[in-house]
Amino acid sequence: MFEFIDANVIATTARMMRTGDTGTTIIVEGGADKNIYSNFVDCVECQFVIAHGKKNALDATKLLNEEKFERLIAIVDADFWNLDGIEPEYKNIFLTDTHDLETLILKTDIFERIISNLIDFRKAKKYGKSIDKMMLENAFIIGCFKWISSQTKEDLCLNFKDLSYERFIDLDTFEVNLNKLISEVKANSNDYSIKDDEIKKRILELKKCEIDLWQVCSGHDLTKILALGLSRIFGFDKDGALTSEGIEKLLRISYSSSHFSVTQLYKAIANWESINKSAKILKNSAI
């Protein structure tokens, strides 16, 4: 039986998990976030609460802050907040440096290492540019569409989940077909009211601007695009091609404390920890 989960449920879970006067509660969006961040925090001193989404994480943190629940932080994806100049409402809410946790990992040398081990470069050579660059360019177009559709922009309420990437990425050129992308999103959203020409114009305008691709691109889009390329275009001829989920698992197990300790996210948490002396969060090995 499905149980509705909202901020009140998450806040109650945090209260129930708090035992005694020690320990820090860390609210994260999902299970994958917990799996990664648990490598860098003192799991004896900390308890993770999975919020099942950014809104739940933010709202639950607000509820707990208002009742002065101590030794509490939340870590959430920035999404488009860094681009829109939006800062968290509370000092104990921390954002990823890039669009999301997956891009935080992909921006490191891990991206190049994974690609170099998975791609048949003889097949990829025909494109005339690196696969990682093409992936970012494709994800950037999708990200621009999402950004335009977001609440801070047009608030179009479009559904970008479970898109069929093979329907709008040309397998011959390994490029996003913008017309097909718009059609796919409209069909996926069951909303045909948006004007294609206006969306195309806005996306093409953003493409001309100097925008940090790592703030626009979604990590899930990047892994989906890579998975499609491996299975249909430039992967090695073998059974069991990696799925996007498999690629993301590789990313998680490859991300080390040496990567995390140079992020702004790490520095912000360390600074908060130094101010809040009773809160023990980071492992010594992550410093």
Task: Print the SS3 string covering 152-184.
Answer: CCCCCCCCCCCCCHHHCEECCCCEECHHHHHHH
Identify the structural domains of the chain with CATH numbers, from first to last.
7-97+263-286 (3.40.1360), 102-254 (no CATH)
Using alpha carbons, select from 259, 218, 262 the residue that is nearest to residue 108. Answer: 259
pLDDT of the residue at 3: 64
pLDDT at 285 over 60: no
Lowest-confidence pick of 16-20, 144-148, 177-181? 16-20
- What is the per-residue pLDDT for 240? 55
Report CA 177 to chain centroid distance, whole Å. 23
Q: What is the pLDDT of residues 83-136, one digit of tens each?
A: 999 999 999 999 999 999 999 999 999 999 988 888 988 888 888 889 999 999
Residue 1 pLDDT greater than 60, yes or no = no
Give residue 287's pLDDT.
Answer: 44
The predicted-structure confidence for 18-59, as pLDDT tens digits, reads as follows: 877 678 999 999 999 999 999 999 999 999 999 999 999 999
Angle at 29 between CA 26 and CA 33, to 5 degrees: 75
What digits encode the pLDDT tens for the residues 184-194?
A: 999 999 999 98
What pLDDT does residue 2 have? 43
Share of the chain above pLDDT 70, in %: 95
128 φ/ψ sector (left φ>0, alpha ψ -120 to 50, else beta): left
Indicate the pairing of strand 24-28 with strand 72-76: parallel
- How far apart CA 212 and CA 139 sit, in angstroms, is 12
Section 267-271 average pLDDT: 97
Strand, coil or helix: 205? helix
Beta strands in 20-154 (DSSP E): 24-28, 46-50, 72-76, 93-95
pLDDT beyond 80 at 238: no
Q: Which residues contact 69 (CB under 8 A, 6 or more apart)?
A: 14, 15, 18, 25
Segment 258-263 mean pLDDT: 97
Mean pLDDT of 69-90: 97
Q: What mean pLDDT value characterizes the chain?
A: 92
DSSP three-state, residue 74: strand
